[in-house]
Amino acid sequence: MIRGALRMLHSLIIGLGQIGLLYDLDPLRHKPSSHTTAYLDSERFRLVAAADIHQGRESLLRGFDDSVRFYTQVTAMLQDHAAEVISICTPPDNHLALIREIISTTSTKLIFCEKPVVANLDEARSLHELMQTTGCMLIPNLSRRWNKGMQRIYEALRQGAYGELQRIHLRYTRGIYNTGSHIFDLVSWFAGRLQSVLVIDQVPTSADHEGDSSFTLHFTTERQVSGYAEAFDDRYYYMFEMDLYLTRGKITILESGNKVRYERVGEHQLFSGFQSLHLDKFDDNLLHDSTLKHAMEHIADVVDGKQQPVCTLKDGLHPIFIAEAVQRSYLSRQWEPVKPL
């Protein structure tokens, strides 16, 4: 498609940390892996400016595109530039204040916000109330919603290609807020929102110093699917895996969604009268196809009124409600309900 054939939307970025910019300095990551290069590579957006409190990020930004204005003060950037879309890529403890400033001082149509959307349950309530008062839309970056492999799993489950979903096993590291935002969102997307949790124990990880604890726990969903999430210490190795057990097969997500194995029930090769699982198909290199690239295409279509969002503020807040229930269960050692607003 020729650049300029579609209306170019203006965009701004707040925060040039890992997901804002720095991930694209990692030679092992497939690009675009940051908001900066996703906007720059998109034929639907013009990245006008970016802000970060670290002055040293300016030279890094210039290395990608020297036409993008750099600011150390968000307020000054918002005063100088109008944009249809603003990305928030800062730590979650200042998301709410930034969203308030954007809504009160700009006519921005859409905020693309990194997860966790806010830092705690009180902020979740405040954000929910705030977004009822504005025409600005907020889309959380629950990135696996834009992964083509995860979308194929969703369709296989929706169509019943492998039978009825019975049970889910998760293996994860690095916190119920960080990794939890993604892995619990996938569960909610595939099996319905989590309804209750029961913590078994707490597992130390490198995210503990960030205040993001990891727990092994049981859970149930609104569609009566039960599950078990097991936490591991990422100082040994990083893990993000999911097993979906169905009546006529099994789907396994490996390598943070880079690989997906589909197995179908068939005749057992060793024992007469029994069935076993046989490889049906295998998807690989799914993360080579940038989820942020697809997110930008989708967001541009949402702003232009061509699509409805694949995930909403409600989806972004639900992992926070789950994390709060997990913390309550850790203290009570009992089943605790997930309490939405």
| Chunked mean pLDDT (size 10), the chain, 341 residues | 66 98 94 96 97 97 97 98 98 97 98 96 96 96 93 98 98 93 95 98 95 97 98 95 98 96 96 97 93 96 96 95 97 97 86
329 closest CA partner among 185, 219, 179: 219
pTM for this one?
A: 0.93
Residue found by looking up tokens 């009124």 in the block: 305
Residues 282, 137 share a domain = no
Residues 181, 194 share a domain = yes
C-alpha 87/C-alpha 48 separation (Å) is: 12
Residues 138, 67 share a domain = yes
Domain hosting 170: range is 148-286+319-337
For 108-120, the DSSP string reads -SEEEEPSSSSSS
Residues 77, 91 share a domain = yes
Tokens of 277: 């699982």
31 closest CA partner among 253, 299, 296: 296
Residues 323, 176 share a domain = yes
Maximum C-alpha span of the chain: 74
Decide if 251 is inside a domain. Answer: yes
Residues 324, 184 share a domain = yes
Residues 121, 32 share a domain = yes
Decide if 185 is inside a domain. Answer: yes
Residues 163, 175 share a domain = yes
What's the angle, vertex CA 331, arms to CA 326 and CA 335, rounded to 5? 55
Say what the alpha-carbon torsion angle 200, 125, 303, 45 is, to the nearest 10 degrees: -70
Decide if 156 is inside a domain. Answer: yes
- pLDDT for 6 equals 65
C-alpha 214/C-alpha 177 separation (Å) is: 9
- pLDDT for 278 equals 98
Residues 181, 106 share a domain = no
Cis peptide before 116 (omega within 30 of 0): yes
- pLDDT for 341 equals 86
Question: Domain total for the chain?
Answer: 2
- pLDDT for 17 equals 97
Residues 126, 259 share a domain = no
Residues 134, 162 share a domain = no
- pLDDT for 155 equals 98
* Amino acid at the residue 19: I
C-alpha 230/C-alpha 27 separation (Å) is: 30
C-alpha 177/C-alpha 212 separation (Å) is: 6
Say what the alpha-carbon torsion angle 134, 135, 136, 137 is, to the nearest 10 degrees: 110
Report how far Cα 262 is from the mean position of its chain's Cα atoms. Answer: 23
- Count CA atoms within 13 Å of residue 308 on its CB side: 1
Report how far Cα 150 is from the mean position of its chain's Cα atoms. Answer: 12
